[in-house]
């Protein structure tokens, strides 16, 4: 059985649909059962150029033998292919141990692009020692789709070393990792780089959206008066302040309602019905379908019903003419008599004002 598996690995593994991890499971079954003393590399297991170029290298060594036989071997010229071999997890642990002994001051950049098989064994703390000085290196590492904790650590290390997030870095970060960026890392974005990046920050925190919008606004400032500006700034509008949305409402952008409801909430609440009409344009009638849902419902409640009626799309729930929404202040419970009297006075103030108004009208 073992001979058949070995023959299959040699002849068909390279074209097999199995992943490297699945092939590693096969290799684990084929590992020699012999046991050797630590530091003892048998002469017939010496790691040569031929062995390093052999896809079946993992089947020749137990983890203990691999550790012993790697002691005086340089893998530097073989990183690009040796980590494609189906090493088992115990063997990968030996390779990681070898690398840290070989490069105690940090991995060379040529290695960082090939660490995908070792990702389950790497920690964010270890990444903080890496020499990641080029965007190409960061991109190569992120291309392996590491978990968020490792990706975040790699981006942090890259920025800590004084590197800007240029088009290559941003393209590698992409939508998958953009929400991991903190304020310092967002500050490292070179605004013109956003012209070449394709990011969707819709799932990010509001703070991230706000900072990215400012970067995007700067990146596309030279095209502000061109028809294409709206499409360029669109992915970042979730962080736009009210003043920018008000200006955009004059440009006939025909914003989709699905985009409208994802705008920065505090900005949306400052828009007038006419400004919303300017933003949505031909899509305004669709707003009626959203009027019972937040944030559209909350926005409607802040508008005069007469102004909503002028939109002619059936929006209801605004403030009626002649009515004033008075929010009664709430005071914490206290045993202090003077404060209690003040609280009672404020509580009765709306009723007192209403009485004075009625008397004034009748007189």
- For 130-179, the pLDDT digits (tens) are 989 899 999 999 999 999 999 999 999 999 999 999 999 999 999 999 99
Give the residue among 91, 78, 73, 81 at the shortest CA–CA distance from 27.
91
Residues 6 or more apart whose CB falls under 8 angstroms from that of 344 comprise none
Residue 263: pLDDT band with limits 50, 70, 90: very high
Residue 330: pLDDT band with limits 50, 70, 90: very low
Q: What percent of the chain has pLDDT over 90?
A: 66
DSSP 300-343: HHTSBHHHHHTT-S-----BPTT----PPP-------HHHHHHH
Domain spans, the chain: 1-102, 240-319
Helix (H) or strand (E) holding 359: helix 337-362
- State the chain's mean pLDDT as an integer: 85
CA distance 199 to 178: 7
- For 15-32, the pLDDT digits (tens) are 666 665 666 566 666 555
Per-position b or e across 95-104, b if 16+ CB within 10 A of its CB: bbebbeeeee
């Amino acid at each position: 059985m073992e001979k058949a598996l070995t023959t299959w690995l040699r002849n068909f593994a390279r074209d097999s649909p199995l992943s490297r991890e699945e092939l590693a499971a096969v290799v684990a079954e084929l590992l020699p059962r012999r046991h050797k003393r630590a530091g003892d590399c048998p002469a017939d297991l010496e790691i040569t150029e031929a062995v390093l170029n052999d896809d079946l290298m993992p089947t020749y060594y137990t983890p203990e033998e691999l550790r012993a036989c790697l002691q005086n071997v340089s893998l530097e010229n073989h990183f690009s292919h040796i980590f494609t071999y189906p090493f088992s997890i115990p063997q990968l642990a030996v390779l990681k141990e070898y690398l840290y002994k070989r490069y105690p001051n940090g991995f060379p950049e040529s290695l960082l692009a090939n660490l995908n098989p070792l990702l389950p064994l790497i920690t964010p703390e270890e990444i903080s020692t890496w020499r990641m000085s080029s965007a190409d290196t960061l991109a190569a590492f992120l291309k392996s789709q590491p978990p968020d904790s490792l990706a975040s650590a790699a981006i942090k290390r890259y920025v800590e070393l004084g590197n800007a997030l240029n088009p290559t870095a941003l393209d590698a970060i992409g939508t998958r990792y953009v929400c991991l960026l903190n304020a310092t890392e967002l500050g490292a974005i070179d605004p013109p780089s956003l012209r070449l990046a394709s990011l969707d920050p819709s799932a990010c925190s509001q703070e991230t959206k706000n900072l990215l919008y400012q970067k995007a606004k700067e990146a596309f400032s030279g095209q502000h008066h061109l028809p294409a500006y709206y499409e360029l700034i669109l992915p970042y509008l979730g962080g736009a302040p009210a003043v920018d949305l008000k200006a955009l409402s004059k440009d006939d952008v025909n914003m989709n309602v699905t985009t409208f409801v994802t705008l920065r909430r505090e900005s949306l609440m400052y828009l007038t019905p006419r400004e919303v009409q300017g933003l949505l344009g031909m899509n305004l009638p669709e707003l009626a379908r959203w009027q019972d849902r937040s944030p559209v419902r909350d926005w409607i409640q802040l508008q005069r019903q007469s102004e909503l009626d002028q939109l002619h799309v059936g929006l209801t729930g605004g403030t009626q003419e002649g009515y004033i929404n008075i929010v009664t202040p709430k005071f914490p419970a206290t045993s202090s008599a003077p404060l209690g009297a003040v609280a009672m006075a404020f509580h009765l103030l709306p009723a007192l004002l209403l009485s004075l108004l009625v008397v004034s009208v009748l007189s």
